[in-house]
Amino acid sequence: MDLLASIFVDPFLRMAGNPTFLTQVVWEGFVSGILYALVALGFVLIYKASGVFNFAQGIMMVFAALALVGLAEMGMPAWGALVAAVGVMLILAIGIERLVLRPLVNQPDIILLMATIGLTRFLVGLGEMVFGGEPKVMITEGLGIPTGVVRVPLFGKFLILKEIDITAAVVAVLMVGFLAVFFARTKIGRALRAVADDHQAALSVGISLERIWVIVWFAAGIVALVTGIMWGARSQVSFDLEVIALKALPVLILGGFTSVPGAIVGGLVIGIGEKVGEIYWGRLLGGGIESWLAYLIALGFLLYRPQGLFGEKIIERV
Amino acid sequence: MLYREVGQFKTTYAADMAVFPIRQDRIGILAMVAIAAVGVPLVANDFVLTSIMIPGLIFTLAAIGLNILTGYAGQISLGTGAFMGVGAYAAYKLANAFPEVNILVWIVTSGVFSAMIGVVFGLPSLRIKGLYLAVTTLAAQFFLEWCFVRIGWLTDYSSSGAIEAVRRSLAGMPITGPEAEPLTRYFVVLALVIGLTWVTSNLVHGRIGRTWMMVRDMDIAAELMGVRLLPAKLLAFAVSSYLAGVAGAMMVFFWLGAAEPSAFGISLSFQVLFMVIIGGLGSLLGSWLGAAFIWALPVVLKFAPGLVGIEIASATVEHLNSMIVGALIIFFLIVEPHGLARLWAVTKQKLRVWPFPW
Amino acid sequence: MFKPMALAFSVASTLAVVLPAVPAQAEDSLYVPLLTYRTGPYAGSGIGIADGMHDYLEMLNQRDGGIGGVKIAIEECETGYNSQKGVECYEATKGKGALVYNPWSTGITLQLIPKAGVDKIPVLSMAYGLSAAADGKTFPWVFNPPMTYWDGASVAVKYIGGKEGGLAKLKGKTIGFIYLDAPYGKEPIPLLEDLAKEYGFKLMKYPVPGDKMQDQSSQWLNVQSDSPDWMIMWGWGAMNPTAVKEAAKIGYPMDHFIGVWFSGGDDDAKAGGAGAKGFLTLNFNGTGAGYPALADIKKYVVAKGLSQVKGDDRVGENNYNHGVYNSMLIAEAIRNAQKIAGKKMVDAADVRAGLETLNIDAARIEAMGLKDFMAPMKVTCDDHSGENSVYVQQWDGAKWTKVSDWIEPMKDKIRPMLVADAKAYADKNAPWPARTEACGGR
């Protein structure tokens, strides 16, 4: 009975008893969710346009942030380093298209996935060689990112919001909005959607696949840079940030591989779900359940909808 | 020249259906086993045995396990590391609970436990397919890893939180634990891996193997043709997890000697996946080649500069190593996306018609 | 069928032929392999340590021509904090006459502990690894000076007691323990639970899973809702800076937040910015470069470009100094071994004896040019950690300052636990070999 009460009653009493804290928990989940969604967004962009499940998105994030901080450490002004980091991502996108994607065109999914894993190892080695393995502090002041704390009164108590988290949320929303407009309104965006629909049909109407791929990988690189800046500012810029990319997998699977809104909603579901689960139920199991809770949530949804929340319905024919 | 099948007539169906229908192949495989069993021990030193041969063989077994699931039955799995862990912990618990029974019995039995766990996590595969299935196996990976850390019973509440290879012997010779000679361990590992490869080979070349391949190629079509999907898929999960579990137990008992929960982390799962894909999906030979390539190459690259007398900082070697391995993975995928096994098959075909390829 | 297998094994057989032909280390040097990690997820902590270890030994080579006139052959082997590569490094170097191993990873230490007695090469796990290894009767080949994690945890509690006005005042207080959810982080829990029972404080545990090191908002939300009076942290790698940042964010009083010695990297505290001011950690070595020995490192090693350290200012950071302390122990053990064995070229067994009789007094510390860097320390035949004293340091926003005296651990409490745990380990790994090495020399 006690056990049942501790599962089904107590957590809700705790939630009702301290609504400020509940809001705080949901906010923290929201922020993690937004940041997971940003990583997932990079995956979705690439998957949509080139059918590649880009495992290297995590390391691209680290690489972009490292390039930014590394260049700033070498004496570049912060904004100069930002521009240079964008340049690095462009070079990377061109390089990947030339050396990896072009020769591997039309290969099965798993081979392309494997190629990006190879790319991951390459980038890890290159990044450590060029920028060193030491963790670096994100140049928040140089970029004008606020790092203070805001206290908002709520239900007689205080909600503690990190300015960096607010910034992350705003940037993520702007980014998604920009991408949505880009896809819907520009010529390149239309070409991108055409390629996503059907490679060959797109080719036949004169869309250059190579150029589209470069653009998509570059866009994913920019998303990676932004994500890297945000995660780097929350903790520090080091190679272990790469594991964050794994957290994007359940988000992606939940939202569907091809859906931008799916990535956002998936991120929020996972982010908030795992925080609320950990805080209100985690103690029953000794804590630390976050590491697998996200996958369990995703699994639950998948059993209900095997193609993810926003994925295209899978129609199987013999 | 030598590799020619002229004059080899098949008079029975059994001969025609054999795993190695060509005589030269049969001789070749025997020769390789002979080299592994006699030649390697004669020339190899302890470092080669403990750092290349033993881990290489253990990874071969794990790769075969994953290949059953991914290559033959078409189900993607990212949970191999955790299933290896289940085997390792099971072997540890069993060996400590029943010290009088020979350790080899427990190593072979340990896989049964990971097979059971594998079946449980395989259940969603009936509804979830393709890359989406990766999430169930990832759930298995992270949940089981958490269990290894949290459940004290698994390590007999040891304060170190790790499991150690207990000292056990076979016919008076220590085969596990710190006293076991590398050569003894090598022979045990070699025998187990070859034995299990042989069993698996018979499995995949028989009815069960063909069922799996039907499921892989198109599960709905297979179902329409009378294959019962649930048993077929679950059997694949069970066999795959069994082999992974045995490999995990061997990893702790014959190679590492002790293991923290983090030894069975997600990176181990990826390591085995590399081997399967580079070696070739759906090929036992590929698992051997993939394991040899992915395991041995970094080791060789790491210690080769020192051997030829080039002084490079150890960290730089590691960076270069990572870059070279990454680049080679991409290179191989471009040259032959179907893996080393396919590369070999192509070579063999050329060899067969040589020197008159037209 | 010849070719693929040949391909698979040719690599191996080539090596097999080549490797034995490699000449063993030159006969006239002391071979010390260093298992370091400058790559991988824990490189942030590992690089400083690797530099410190290498540079101190190199400095001895440059300044004194080695130890007792014999050069030290230093070889780094990269482990990436990965237990697979750890074994590889061990196997690759042990044949060359390695004198002592410093695994710098709990996982690798645990692998080497059973091997040490068989291969007869001592393992020096400086203030990490298996706490129970302090029992020299059971683990003659393993050393974990200057103290174990349990000693550290007891000092943290003692310090808290001191601030609260006596250990008795801990009754009714809450102490939070945030730790990396791995064997390393879980190690102090039995002791803390014991102390909680004895002194009547409440222990709240906050595990941080390895893949959540950069995102600890859940743990700190729990801290916020429990609001413990004090926090103790057992963190490593990226966990440290993130924890410091989160603590600052929720407005946790930083001078009530104590980290273990491995949470005290300069980068860890710097990441917290102004909010990290007041953060406490335990320590057993001095910080900063204001010691003659470190000045010598700058002069003989860094200035000559023999070090991999990134910039002069990195010399003297806390992790660097951990490395220096570690190498100092190696060097002193070898020096001691030369004295006991009565010869310059010592072997691993001599070094074991040297470690076991290590007794670094104030005079010797001054002679090494490390005055105020460390407290006098001692290892005995029974006690391989020595349970030496620890002090507490505080981050003032730019550097660490010492804010407490050297505090002795609760030896009478910990010693029986260590012995019982060592026995449990030996029982589990039965038949564990009985100690045959004589005490005091060989």
Q: What is the pLDDT of residues C46-63, one digit of tens each?
A: 899 999 999 999 999 999
Q: Provide the residue ranges of all domains of chain C, joining segments of one domain with +.
A: 27-147+288-378+419-428, 149-283+391-409
Where are the strands (E) in B26-142, listed by range?
none
Number of structural domains (chain A) is: 1
- pLDDT tens-digit readout, C132-184: 899 999 999 999 988 999 999 999 999 999 999 888 899 999 999 999 988 88
Contacts of B285 in chain C (CB under 8 A): 4
Please name which of C310, C374, C386, C435 lies closest in space to residue C44, comparing C-alpha atoms: C310
> In which element (H, E) is residue C394 found?
strand C391-395
Please name which of B200, B195, B199, B197 lies closest in space to residue B72, comparing C-alpha atoms: B200
| pTM reported for the whole predicted model | 0.90
Q: Which of B25, B26, B33, B47 to mutate to test the interface with C (most CBs of C within 10 A)?
A: B47
Percent of chain B surpassing pLDDT 70: 96
Matching fold, domains C27-147+288-378+419-428 and C149-283+391-409: yes
C27-147+288-378+419-428 CATH: 3.40.50.2300
- pLDDT tens-digit readout, A129-181: 888 777 788 887 777 777 777 787 777 777 888 888 888 889 888 888 888 88
Please name which of C45, C29, C88, C104 lies closest in space to residue C327, comparing C-alpha atoms: C104
Percent of chain B surpassing pLDDT 90: 35
pLDDT at C27: 61
pLDDT (average), residues A200-206: 85
Does the beta-carbon distance from A278 to C218 stay under 8 Å? yes
Mean pLDDT for all residues in chain C: 87
Contacts of C425 in chain B (CB under 8 A): 158, 160
Does the beta-carbon distance from B326 to A123 stay under 8 Å? yes
Partners for A (CB, 8 Å, 3+ pairs)? Answer: B, C
Contacts of A308 in chain B (CB under 8 A): 132
B39 secondary structure, DSSP code: I
pLDDT at C250: 85
Q: From CA B32, how far away is CA A215, in angstroms rounded?
A: 50
**ipTM at complex level:** 0.87
Q: Is the pLDDT of residue C13 over 80?
A: no
Q: Residues near C441 by Cβ (< 8 Å), separated by ≥ 6?
A: C340, C353, C357
> In which element (H, E) is residue B350 found?
helix B339-353
Q: Which of A20, A154, A235 to mutate to test the interface with C (most CBs of C within 10 A)?
A: A235
Please name which of B297, B343, B304 lies closest in space to residue B323, comparing C-alpha atoms: B297
Strand bridging mode C391-395 / C400-402: antiparallel
Q: Is the pLDDT of residue B357 over 70?
A: no
pLDDT at C279: 94
Q: Is the pLDDT of residue C203 over 90?
A: yes
Contacts of C213 in chain A (CB under 8 A): 235, 240
Distance from CA of A254 to the nearest CA of C (A): 20
Contacts of C43 in chain A (CB under 8 A): 128, 133-135, 238-239
Interface of C with A in 350-409 (CB under 8 A): none
Q: Residue C243 corresponds to which tokens in the numbers above?
A: 């924890």
Count the neighbouring beta carbons within 10 Å of the beta carbon of residue A189. Answer: 16
How many CA atoms, within 13 angstroms, populate the side-chain half-sphere of residue C341? 20
Partner-chain residue, chosen from A117, A292, A314, that has the shortest CB–CB distance to B146: A292
Secondary structure (DSSP) of B229-241: HHHHHHHHHHHHH
Partners for B (CB, 8 Å, 3+ pairs)? Answer: A, C
Interface of A with C in 120-139 (CB under 8 A): 128, 132-135, 137
Please name which of C293, C281, C298 lies closest in space to residue C372, comparing C-alpha atoms: C293
Q: Is the pLDDT of residue B139 over 50?
A: yes
Please name which of C428, C415, C403, C361 lies closest in space to residue C137, comparing C-alpha atoms: C415
Partner-chain residue, chosen from C8, C83, C308, that has the shortest CB–CB distance to B260: C83
Q: Domain containing A270 — which CATH number?
A: 1.10.3470
Among chain A residues, CA nearest to B328: A118
Partner-chain residue, chosen from A32, A238, A279, that has the shortest CB–CB distance to C215: A32
Does the beta-carbon distance from C84 to B55 stay under 8 Å? yes
Note whether C250 contacts A: Cβ–Cβ < 8 A.
Answer: yes
CA torsion C269→C273→C278→C283, rounded to 10°? 10
In a domain, A310, yes or no: no
SS3 of C233, please? strand
Instruction: Provide the residue range defining the domain that includes A82.
Output: 2-304
Quote the CATH superfamily of domain C149-283+391-409.
Response regulator (3.40.50.2300)
Distance from CA of B44 to the nearest CA of A (A): 30
Lowest mean pLDDT among A42-51, C64-73, C155-164: A42-51
In a domain, A118, yes or no: yes
Does the beta-carbon distance from A240 to C237 stay under 8 Å? yes
Tell whether the torsion through CA atoms of A52, A58, A63 and A68 is positive or negative: positive
Q: From CA C406, how far away is CA C283, in angstroms rounded?
A: 9
Q: From CA A131, how far away is CA A68, in angstroms rounded?
A: 10
